[in-house]
Structure 1
Amino acid sequence: MYLNRELLRLKEVIAKDFKLFDQDRVAAIYYDEDDFKVVDIAAQDLAEDIFSVTGKKAKVINNSANLAKQMILVGTLGKNKLIANLVKEKIIDISGIKNNWESFLITTVQNPVDAVEQALVIVGSDRRATAFGVYELAKQIGVSPWSWWADVPVLKKEKIIIKNKSYVYGPPAVKYRGIFINDEDWGLQPWAAKNFEADKGDIGPRTYAKIFELLLRLKANYIWPAMHPCTRAFNGFSANKVIADNYAIVVGSSHCEPMLRNNVGEWNKELFNQYTKKEWTAESWNYQTNPDIIFKYWEDRVKENSQYENTYTVGMRGIHDGGMPGPDSLSKKVKLLEKVISDQRKILKKHIDYEIDQVPQVFCPYKEVLDIYNEGLNLPDDITTLWSNDNFGYLTRLPTAKESKRSGGAGIYYHISYWGRPHDYLWLCTTNPTLIWEEMKKAYQYNARQIWVLNVGDLKPGEFLTEFFLTLGWQIDKMTDKDIEEYISNWITINFNQQYSSQITEIILEFYQLNYIRKPEHLGWNSVYPNTAIQDPEFSIFNYGDEVEKYLNRYLKIANLAEKIYLALEEKFKAAFYQLVLYPVKGAALMAQKMLYAYKNRIYASQGRISANKYARLTKTAYQQLKKATNYYNEKLNNGKWQGIISMKPRQLPVFEMPELTQVIPQIKADYGIILENSQELLNSNHNNKLPAFSKFSQKSYFIDIFNKSDQQINWQAKVEQDWINISVNSGILEDELRLFVSIIWDKIPAGDIVEGEINLSILGEDNLIKLEVYNPNLIEAATKNTFIEINKYIALEAENYSKKVNNQTASWKFIKGLSRTGKGSLAATSVNNSAFEIKELGITNFQAQSPLLEYNLIISTPGEVIITAYFLPTNAVNDKKYLRYAVALDTDDPQLAELFSYTDEYDKTWQQDVLRSTKISQTKHYFNKPGKHKLKIWMVDPGVIIDKIVLDFGGVKPSYLGPAETLYN
């Protein structure tokens, strides 16, 4: 097996390919005894990894007197005497890593010293870089970073040969890259406490050692430890900080835990009484009333941990995730917070042997702290400002031009798991990876590059997104949206059998798009704080081809394919596949079935359909299958290794329980009902006997539902009056329900602007006449492949299918593949200098000439007023403004300016709705004075707008969740 080049080939080295393992001979590993502890750990792990691949244990040597003929030389610059000599003699070139942060070189050398015939040299610019290099070699020989955490098997090899080349990795795009273990109450903590680390009864040193190893394998260097009340404070185990240092992991603390203190576990009556004779109360956490006590509390932790590599969160919030106690006005809060930070820096100056501007400090303007910051907080320039997303994947703020020049730089706190308003998502990790890429790419472009920390919840089942995020932190400057699919495919190849790579890639891409439409935890259409009852979904059962059925069919397709692959896989791959693919996909599909079949049950029951009882059974079956799948994960998978790691109902929220169901009692006398697509009214109500209009330019089909209200079988027959009408089934026996699909045989139908037809459904001796209208003109004015046609008094289009796009040198509409609720991607307004196009300042003419433009060709039948509904991703302003804007016009009309409001706080009802449905909806009114050709124009105003879909309503749009499918001429 050959080591593949990742970033940069330095030069050819006159040497043979390095034989790491060949004919039962395995290379030995050498590191210098004076090197860092993490190098020792990595070397020992490499020996174990080589054994898992070859069955032969590599000898680990830290004394140059015992070298072998084939050696892997591992060392940090300045810490390995053999490597230092190779550098001195110019046998290896370290120019690509010297003086760089976390950069390493892998190269081959012939006869580096007398006793060694060949050497593979792994040299790091610092201690973590050396470890990264060692674990990169392990990955290249076939050991996945998830070999322990997700039971990815290691495949045996008969030979391992490293190609004779030099490879430089690093420096990373982002300085500190890591994770936040959070909301661990239902997964990681019970698993560790009752299973993996039962002797400690908690997440302790053994668990953290495994987490730290994983971070190194993923080229990460940073952690915010678990901090909920269920978990003992990180420093409550004295070994934790030592182990972190041994693994060279930088330790920080979350936005509400200043100075490495875990308040919920440490700020208590017992500790308080050590500092003072005052009476402890819940209100004691107040820097206005108890500054000396809290100062001492912080100082003790800094003294205890100052010898280690840390970042220090400065500022102050509530004991947990709440606002800072004290002042009642924003201006007074600013003054108090400035004093807090000043006092914290006094502690750091006193106890850390660096200049204060060299001590890594983090200020996180998260939630209400952002208001304090915006009020004019005087923040020292060397403190890193850690901006956050809105907890649902969309960044709330990025540095302004002035802020980006701060010496402390900026960073991002990002979530793929969250507990809070408007609704938790703690069960499955379903954030679209393209959304993560888009937001973090934007952060990188705006110079937020100092710290990226990811809230991973319990870590499992967020394995893929965790690795993806950390990979972005390592090399986002080298990844585009078009690389994401290839990244997924490569990730699958590394972790599973390559035979199924394309199919699993298809599953994962579809899984994330379905979850972008609606996360499983949000299918109850309810909220938390306060917890509200389950509501009916906004998905329509009757409009636009039955959104519920379409959504479920897509889920069933990938769930069934995943199950099929699982059964076909070799046994050794099954545990990993279950964790990384099957359980998330199957779990999300079963949740969708449980909630949406229950919805069908309730709606169909209201119509008297006996099929409602079938959907009640399907709901119950989905719930039982979900319990079974979760129990298998927790109790049987890999002989119970993961006991307690997954909960299918964190916080016991209503969405996780059995939904309300209705039982229909069949009528004694035979009876039936008919429903047509785009209507919820029974056919017999006289005013609804027409299917939606058909068009030669879309060639859609529409459905007719026939349903039984009794327990008797009913004969039925369908007759068409015109031979150009096609029905999927023409006759039969109706038991519970039947869906007929009506389409047009286009080569038989006569031409005409409106061609009429009729279907007669004969049931129980009754004739039910259903009328059809078909738009089938001989010609249509200038209809081309990029023209959208009005059908049923609406036009729908996906944003990426424009007829014309005009960009300029500094701003553009950029297509983002894979980021859409309904299409193949979306279009983002981007600007290299974060500048907006102000209509008032530029004037209408200059604005139209300078602003990036999207143009769409339309053919309209219904003149008059039209409402244009534009669907945008719920992104936020990239600067300190409170809105995002775009401009829209028809034909030669002046552009209308429209605003999309940005995140203000978690209580905003519009924001809550937007993030749950993954879209902002904006409407403008316009007027067409005549039918025929027209143009729709969309201009960029503010960077950060991402447009997904547009619907023009001439009075025909029906209620739905996703809107009508596009009416593109094809």
Structure 2
Amino acid sequence: MLGTGLAAVPVLTSSAAWAGGRDGGGDDLVVTEPGGYISFSGGAFSLVGAPVVVSPEDHPGVVRVAGDLRDDLARVTGVRPGGTIARFPVLLGTIGRSPLIDGLIRSGKLDVTGVRGRWETSLHTVVDHPMPGVERAFVVAGSDPRGTIFGAYDVSYGIGVSPWHWWDDVPPARRDRVWVKPGRFTQGTPVVKYRGVFINDENPALGTWAPAYFGPGKAPGHPGGFTADFYARVFEVLLRLKGNYLWPAVWGRAFAEDDPENHRRAAEYGIVMGTSHEAPMMRGIEEWNRHAGSGTDPYGGTGVWSYRRNADAIRAYWRAGIQRMVDQGFEGVVTLGMRGNGDTSLPDGDGIELMQQIIADQRRIIEEVTGRPAAETPQVWTLYKEVQRYWDRGLRAPDDVTVVLTDDNWGNIRKHPDGPRSGGYGLYYHFDYVGAGRNYKWVDTANLRNVWEQLHQAHAHGNHGLWVANVGDLKGNEVPTEFFLGYAWNPDALPLERLGAWEERYARQNFGEAQAKEIASLLATYGRLQARRKPELLNRRITLAGDRVVYDDRQTPYYFAHRELERVTEEWRALGRRAERVERRLPAELRDAWFELAGYQITATANLYALREAEFTNLLYAAQGRAATNDRAARAEAGLDRDLALADRFNSRVANGKWRGFQTQPHIDYGDVERYGPDAGWQQPEKDNIALPDVLFPAVRRIEVPQAAGLGVSVDGAEDAGEWWPGGASGEAVLPPFSPYQTSPRQYVEIFNRGRTPFPYEVSVSAPWLRVDRPRGRVEQQVRLEVEVDWPRLRADRAEATLTVRGAGASVVVRCVAERPSGVKARGFVEAGGYVAIDAGHYDRAVGQWRRIDGIGRTGAGMTPWPVTSPSRTPGGSSPRLEYEVTLLSAPGEVTVWAYLSPRNPALPGVSGLRYGISLDDGPIKTVDITAGADDGALNTVWARNTSDNVNRTATRHTVTSPGVHRLRFWMVDPTVVVQRLLIDTGGLPELYLGPLESRRL
């Protein structure tokens, strides 16, 4: 458990211990959902026109929040309440600090059982005749000042004010009747003690907008700094979301210097200040960078950020940070440790022994400056990237220090608590990232099902000390930010079954009841589709060449085979159309909020997919000399124009231009090393650290199309190799095999023109069982023909035929193979085309406890052993497993079983890997460790591929002795493995990003 805050004034920490649980206590004290005691039909107390009264002796943050509550009541009811006692007031105050509240307690009018002495806990209740002249009062009492503040904002939430009302221009619905229900209500005590966000990677978006809107920073020579007026808006939304902790922006910014009022404003609002994992001792790293030069720094040192070479100066610098915290009296959690300048690793020689010395020296400074034992000042040590390696090799911080564990920057936790410590553990999690394999900064890409599963693991393993999320610019990551902070407050209120209800409540709070269900569905689908791949990575294909990972930044990760690129693009188009329908149906006053919170992200990403499809189709067509080449180039360029137009609407038209300059994050031009230098593979398009406007990369191609018609033919399955006939391939044209069990899209032949003059075409077939949907017609640019088998007319188990395409004086013969084995009675998932594809949630039998998590996978559900704290098992016998019945038609022989799993890390204490078992029939169980083999933040290229693709693919080989029905078993070895899909390759599995569609199940 973390200690309480510094005893400086004003701080919000009560003298009571943190309970670390949600139970409000007291037999009649009801723990509700946010605002659950508010009614719009009737109740015990009307809030319309009720004055909000607070004692001036209370904490300044409580006095301030009373004004916000008055404003919120006025927004909703249209009646501006006063601030003096009346017959029916709202009484707001802190137990032990408010004479109003303490007087009610002494007189026996207010029962604070279950609230008094707790951490950040509030009571909401109606009291009759609380004092002379008052007939009835609605009392909001906090166990400490932050509890009171959370209680006030919870009323605001209950009456319909969005926490994002300022940040996203969300107007509340007007209400003539707003009531408080009878009873004693509480939001309980938060499970995670410190719950916060890290504003990071804020250039160019937030970094451009904020100084223009609020005015430049006040540090001489640093106009890009963020001021107290900016941070006040951050503090407010953080408190409305029941957060209490902040890591301030760091990209060229220094919280303490950019506005001398920043720390005072944080104290006024009641925010606990911290500094990021790279910035120890309450000092932002820019406070060093701005003043240290070559060979000099303000502390008598050499200016180098090296504890081995400049320790005296760095200690003096750190001492000044702790002294400032004490002098200014703000509440803080002190970061310990040290990383390299610019959030990089320390030099190799600066390892465990030096880190031990650093932490010891830092704690000695804390004791000397505060005059108290170090354990009385909250401290954290974050095991980020290479620092976790120090922990794994035995380095430990003192027991009272909170050890903050981290994810891998891509939403996969790297480590769970290693045993009890008085300081407990924390979590640093990412919704935004700058680094390898590539930045993701543009729009929200969090899949809440994935976030829930990871946060549930942290909760289940007892990680409750301090949680902080990297939220990038904050605006744009509203959904995951609100979810993260809400879950940290009360994980038990957000079980898996309630994720859909949470999304619906979020939609209702911001957009009203009428379209809440559709908006919730849109948000869930958006998160699932985005989780397939970050938008910034849509022009990077990552493949394996033996043991080597190969990056191609001029290629789509999706394939033309099985129409994969077309299908995923159409999914996004459909989602975009749904979003546009929602916007049309919303009242005009909600459309700005819709565009800011969801509409832009959905429609702009849908447009990006359409742009990429046109771009990569253009490059294919150019290589084939198609007449449609230039049209696809024009479509891609139109997509870029629409991308710019959507950003312009955000910047110029939404909220009358309030957000001008915000939507400026590059997201299309990644990878252009020739233009931006060697870091372009991962870093945003920029020059001299300034982000640049997007251009198309790779660039589209235009060709000179001859006048004369020319026949070209491409066939399904050959386009990824760029093959076409008659002149663009060395072998024959062959369609993928036909099967009555196939679920892949219908095979096709595409006839294209290589000239500008249209021509007639004709297709003939050599067998009556082979059919083409349009055997004759006219080709302007291109025509796609779908080919199918008339199965009743096919007599053999296997047959071959040809179709011949004639046109423009040329012809192409395409070979077709149909397969329908008759000697096998099929059951379960049936092989077709040389493979079986299974979605993991569609098992035939589950032995032991498993949990299905819908939407966690790239294509659907995932299955994971349950509970997540289960011990590891040796597979076999009656141990937990999932069983799948399959029919294999091409046996006997060797098959490869591919498991598609969420790209998790070996986070379990005492377990070095992350394993599962796989077996076929009664064959041996093959145990697989999915760990990429890395132990620090640099990790390795296999990890980079897994996180970029958001899947971990592993393979095992098995022997099949005969065709027929077989049983595939997926065995639990370690908990926390999430299996999404299982693919059996009998020799024909196509190369696809998502894998083929699920096989037919009989």
Compared with structure 1, are the counterparts of its residues 12 and 504 closer, same or farther at alpha carbon in structure 2 (3 Å cutoff)?
A: closer
- What whole-Å deviation, never above 9, does each CA across 1:539-571 have from its counterpart, x for those lacking one? 111x12x11111111111111222232234322
**2:783 corresponding residue in structure 1:** 738
The equivalent position to 1:675 in structure 2, one of 681, 694, 714, is 714
Whole-angstrom CA distance in 1 between matches of 2:99 and 2:986: 78
Whole-angstrom CA distance in 2 between matches of 1:273 and 1:751: 88
Asked if the contact 1:74/1:121 (under 8 Å) is kept, the reply is yes
1:821 Cα deviation from its structure 2 partner:
0.8
1:88 Cα deviation from its structure 2 partner:
3.9
The equivalent position to 2:978 in structure 1, one of 946, 949, 955, is 946
The equivalent position to 2:907 in structure 1, one of 878, 883, 886, is 878
**1:302 corresponding residue in structure 2:** 322
**2:872 corresponding residue in structure 1:** 836
Whole-angstrom CA distance in 1 between matches of 2:823 and 2:46: 71
Query: Aligned ranges for residues 37-48 of structure 1 at < 5 Å?
Result: 37-48=60-71
Query: Aligned ranges for residues 113-128 of structure 1 at < 5 Å?
Result: 113-128=131-146
Whole-angstrom CA distance in 2 between matches of 1:523 and 1:274: 44
Query: Aligned ranges for residues 428-467 of structure 1 at < 5 Å?
Result: 428-467=443-482
Asked if the contact 1:873/1:948 (under 8 Å) is kept, the reply is yes
Compared with structure 1, are the counterparts of its residues 756 and 969 closer, same or farther at alpha carbon in structure 2 (3 Å cutoff)?
A: farther
**1:566 corresponding residue in structure 2:** 583
**2:676 corresponding residue in structure 1:** none
Q: Which moved more, 1:332-341 or 1:856-865?
A: 332-341
- 1:291 and 2:311 aligned: yes
**1:594 corresponding residue in structure 2:** 611
**2:274 corresponding residue in structure 1:** 252
**2:696 corresponding residue in structure 1:** 658
Asked if the contact 1:152/1:573 (under 8 Å) is kept, the reply is yes
Asked if the contact 1:630/1:648 (under 8 Å) is kept, the reply is no
Asked if the contact 1:9/1:166 (under 8 Å) is kept, the reply is no
- What whole-Å deviation, never above 9, does each CA across 1:133-158 have from its counterpart, x for those lacking one? 11111111111111100001122222
Whole-angstrom CA distance in 2 between matches of 1:679 and 1:422: 29
Whole-angstrom CA distance in 2 between matches of 1:277 and 1:683: 75
Compared with structure 1, are the counterparts of its residues 560 and 670 closer, same or farther at alpha carbon in structure 2 (3 Å cutoff)?
A: same
What SS is found at the alignment partner of 2:162?
coil
Give the AA of the match of 2:865. Answer: A
Whole-angstrom CA distance in 2 between matches of 1:310 and 1:800: 46
What SS is found at the alignment partner of 2:307?
coil
Asked if the contact 2:737/2:818 (under 8 Å) is kept, the reply is no
1:478 Cα deviation from its structure 2 partner:
2.5
1:629 Cα deviation from its structure 2 partner:
1.1
Query: Aligned ranges for residues 517-556 of structure 1 at < 5 Å?
Result: 517-525=532-540, 534-541=553-560, 543-544=561-562, 546-556=563-573
- 1:413 and 2:452 aligned: no
**1:393 corresponding residue in structure 2:** 411
Compared with structure 1, are the counterparts of its residues 643 and 176 closer, same or farther at alpha carbon in structure 2 (3 Å cutoff)?
A: same
The equivalent position to 1:788 in structure 2, one of 803, 806, 829, is 829
Compared with structure 1, are the counterparts of its residues 699 and 213 closer, same or farther at alpha carbon in structure 2 (3 Å cutoff)?
A: closer
**2:666 corresponding residue in structure 1:** 649
TM-score, length of structure 2 as denominator length? 0.87
Q: Which moved more, 1:141-150 or 1:342-351?
A: 342-351
- What whole-Å deviation, never above 9, does each CA across 1:598-648 have from its counterpart, x for those lacking one? 111111221221222221111101111111111221222211111122213
1:828 Cα deviation from its structure 2 partner:
1.7
1:512 Cα deviation from its structure 2 partner:
1.6
Whole-angstrom CA distance in 2 between matches of 1:452 and 1:503: 31
Give the AA of the match of 1:859. Answer: T
**1:910 corresponding residue in structure 2:** 942
Whole-angstrom CA distance in 1 between matches of 2:490 and 2:994: 35
Whole-angstrom CA distance in 1 between matches of 2:602 and 2:59: 42
Compared with structure 1, are the counterparts of its residues 206 and 338 closer, same or farther at alpha carbon in structure 2 (3 Å cutoff)?
A: same
Whole-angstrom CA distance in 2 between matches of 1:757 and 1:490: 58
1:889 Cα deviation from its structure 2 partner:
1.0
1:683 Cα deviation from its structure 2 partner:
5.3
Whole-angstrom CA distance in 1 between matches of 2:36 and 2:836: 55
Query: Aligned ranges for residues 725-874 of structure 1 at < 5 Å?
Result: 727-743=772-788, 753-754=797-798, 761-764=805-808, 770=814, 772-775=816-819, 781=825, 783=827, 787-807=828-848, 812-822=849-859, 824-831=860-867, 833=869, 835-838=871-874, 847-863=875-891, 864-874=893-903
Whole-angstrom CA distance in 1 between matches of 2:557 and 2:539: 10
Query: Aligned ranges for residues 13-412 of structure 1 at < 5 Å?
Result: 17-21=43-47, 26-61=49-84, 67-198=85-216, 200=218, 201=223, 202-229=225-252, 231-269=253-291, 276-278=299-301, 280-281=302-303, 283=304, 285-306=305-326, 307-324=329-346, 328-329=348-349, 333-352=351-370, 354-400=372-418, 402=419, 405-412=420-427
- What whole-Å deviation, never above 9, does each CA across 1:758-782 have from its counterpart, x for those lacking one? 6554534766555555555778525
The equivalent position to 2:519 in structure 1, one of 501, 504, 518, is 504
Asked if the contact 2:34/2:158 (under 8 Å) is kept, the reply is no
Asked if the contact 1:613/1:663 (under 8 Å) is kept, the reply is yes
Aligned length, in residue pairs: 925
- What whole-Å deviation, never above 9, does each CA across 1:443-473 have from its counterpart, x for those lacking one? 1111111111011111121111111111111
Compared with structure 1, are the counterparts of its residues 303 and 276 closer, same or farther at alpha carbon in structure 2 (3 Å cutoff)?
A: closer
Give the AA of the match of 1:943. Answer: P
Percent identity between the two aligned chains? 29
Q: Which moved more, 1:697-706 or 1:551-560?
A: 697-706
Whole-angstrom CA distance in 1 between matches of 2:790 and 2:105: 77
1:894 Cα deviation from its structure 2 partner:
1.6
1:533 Cα deviation from its structure 2 partner:
7.3
Give the AA of the match of 2:925. Answer: P
Asked if the contact 1:233/1:266 (under 8 Å) is kept, the reply is no
Unaligned segments of structure 1, at least 5 residues: 62-66, 839-846
Asked if the contact 2:741/2:831 (under 8 Å) is kept, the reply is no
Q: Which moved more, 1:41-50 or 1:900-909?
A: 900-909
- What whole-Å deviation, never above 9, does each CA across 1:234-289 have from its counterpart, x for those lacking one? 354221111111111000000111011112233554699685545x34x2x22223
Compared with structure 1, are the counterparts of its residues 115 and 726 closer, same or farther at alpha carbon in structure 2 (3 Å cutoff)?
A: farther
Whole-angstrom CA distance in 1 between matches of 2:256 and 2:771: 69
What SS is found at the alignment partner of 1:105?
strand
Compared with structure 1, are the counterparts of its residues 832 and 565 closer, same or farther at alpha carbon in structure 2 (3 Å cutoff)?
A: closer
1:698 Cα deviation from its structure 2 partner:
4.4
Whole-angstrom CA distance in 1 between matches of 2:895 and 2:806: 40
Asked if the contact 1:205/1:239 (under 8 Å) is kept, the reply is yes
**2:748 corresponding residue in structure 1:** 703
Whole-angstrom CA distance in 2 between matches of 1:821 and 1:655: 30
- 1:577 and 2:598 aligned: no
Give the AA of the match of 1:678. Answer: G
**2:633 corresponding residue in structure 1:** 616
Whole-angstrom CA distance in 1 between matches of 2:497 and 2:269: 35
Whole-angstrom CA distance in 2 between matches of 1:538 and 1:267: 40
Asked if the contact 1:264/1:320 (under 8 Å) is kept, the reply is no
Q: Which moved more, 1:155-164 or 1:216-225?
A: 155-164
Whole-angstrom CA distance in 2 between matches of 1:7 and 1:340: 44
- What whole-Å deviation, never above 9, does each CA across 1:95-147 have from its counterpart, x for those lacking one? 23222211111112222223112211111111111111111111111111111
Whole-angstrom CA distance in 1 between matches of 2:795 and 2:493: 54
Whole-angstrom CA distance in 2 between matches of 1:477 and 1:247: 28
Whole-angstrom CA distance in 1 between matches of 2:814 and 2:118: 75
**2:12 corresponding residue in structure 1:** none
